[in-house]
Amino acid sequence: MVFAFNFTASKNNQMCGVNIRYEFLQALLKKVDHFKEFKIQLLTRNSKLKTLKEELDSRVAAYDLWAQRRRHGQDGHNNRKLWVLACMDERLPIDEALGIHVDTPAGGGDAHCFRNAGGIVTDDAIRSAMLTCNFFGTKEIVIVQHTQCGMLSVNATDLEKMLRDKGIDTDNIAMDPTLPELKLDKGAFAKWIGMMDDVDETCMKTIEAFKNHPLIPKDVVISGWVWEVETRRLRAPTRDAEKRARTDVTSAQFGVKVKQPPRWS
């Protein structure tokens, strides 16, 4: 940036019949000073401006504040005011897919991250999102599901049968032993598992579920994405067959012949 003019500011200065306000000139000159100061800082960053003691004092204070974030409610938000919901799958690298650092390095921390089978909406996903959005300063939700997901690989009814064959009564399961009030209706177990027919459809319905939930504030920005395991690329969920063609996104591609129990309908 080059300032090609040079003049002295004074009150009631007049140029070409236009009153130039003294305050405006002062502000302009201040900006020039700031620019010069910034340049000096860049040139001397590692040498003259601070002692190591000062730098360490500052770093320790910043780390203490980071460690105590949760004491500060909305003001103690994570770096990006972000909650991520993602499938637990080891082939879905959250940091790489989203270009963030979820929990590293120490002293960083871009997001709260919740992972479950499928990266789908569940009661505990809602519980966690409710807490971070209402009490810990989170303003954005990003949902990440992925192609080749294990949740496409088998029909939930068959999974339930396998458990029943082991002698488990799936109509009488304590969903949370510490919360006996949380119960499934008889016959709802297979639906509860949350297997998918189509990951793009499921991702879009997951977005809607959070957008419409009364515990999630309306000003929270919500988006959902599909990570292509085959190509290591992120894309928006889509019904466009051409955009999905290079990946496995349906249970039919896994050889599942019967539709899943209707959790998403």
Catalog residues that contact Zn ion under the rule CB under 5 A: 87, 89, 149
What are the residue ranges of helices labelled H in the chain? Answer: 22-44, 52-67, 94-98, 123-135, 156-165, 189-193, 199-211, 241-244
Task: Report phi then psi at 5, rounded to 5.
Answer: -115, 160
* Nearest residue to 225 (alpha-carbon basis) of 84, 126, 82: 84
Q: How far apart are CA 175 and CA 166, in angstroms?
A: 18
Task: Report phi then psi at 143, rounded to 5.
Answer: -105, 130
Whose Cβ is closer to Zn ion: residue 109's or residue 194's?
A: 194
Whose Cβ is closer to Zn ion: residue 116's or residue 238's?
A: 116
- Tell me how far, at minimum, the Cβ of 151 lies from Zn ion, in Å: 5
Q: How far is CA 30 from CA 15, 34, 44, 94, in A?
A: 21, 6, 21, 43
Does residue 234 contact residue 225 with C-beta atoms inside 8 Å? yes
- Tell me how far, at minimum, the Cβ of 119 lies from Zn ion, in Å: 7
For residue 61 the two structure tokens come to 């204070």
- Tell me how far, at minimum, the Cβ of 177 lies from Zn ion, in Å: 26
Whose Cβ is closer to Zn ion: residue 194's or residue 261's?
A: 194
- Tell me how far, at minimum, the Cβ of 88 lies from Zn ion, in Å: 7
* Nearest residue to 195 (alpha-carbon basis) of 143, 261, 248, 116: 261
- Tell me how far, at minimum, the Cβ of 91 lies from Zn ion, in Å: 8
Whose Cβ is closer to Zn ion: residue 20's or residue 117's?
A: 117
> What region, left, alpha or beta, does residue 11 occupy, with left being phi > 0 and alpha being psi -120 to 50 degrees?
beta
DSSP state of 253: G
Whose Cβ is closer to Zn ion: residue 111's or residue 149's?
A: 149
Does residue 229 contact residue 247 with C-beta atoms inside 8 Å? yes
* Alpha-carbon radius of gyration of the chain: 27
Whose Cβ is closer to Zn ion: residue 87's or residue 216's?
A: 87
- Tell me how far, at minimum, the Cβ of 229 lies from Zn ion, in Å: 9
Whose Cβ is closer to Zn ion: residue 102's or residue 249's?
A: 249
- Tell me how far, at minimum, the Cβ of 92 lies from Zn ion, in Å: 7
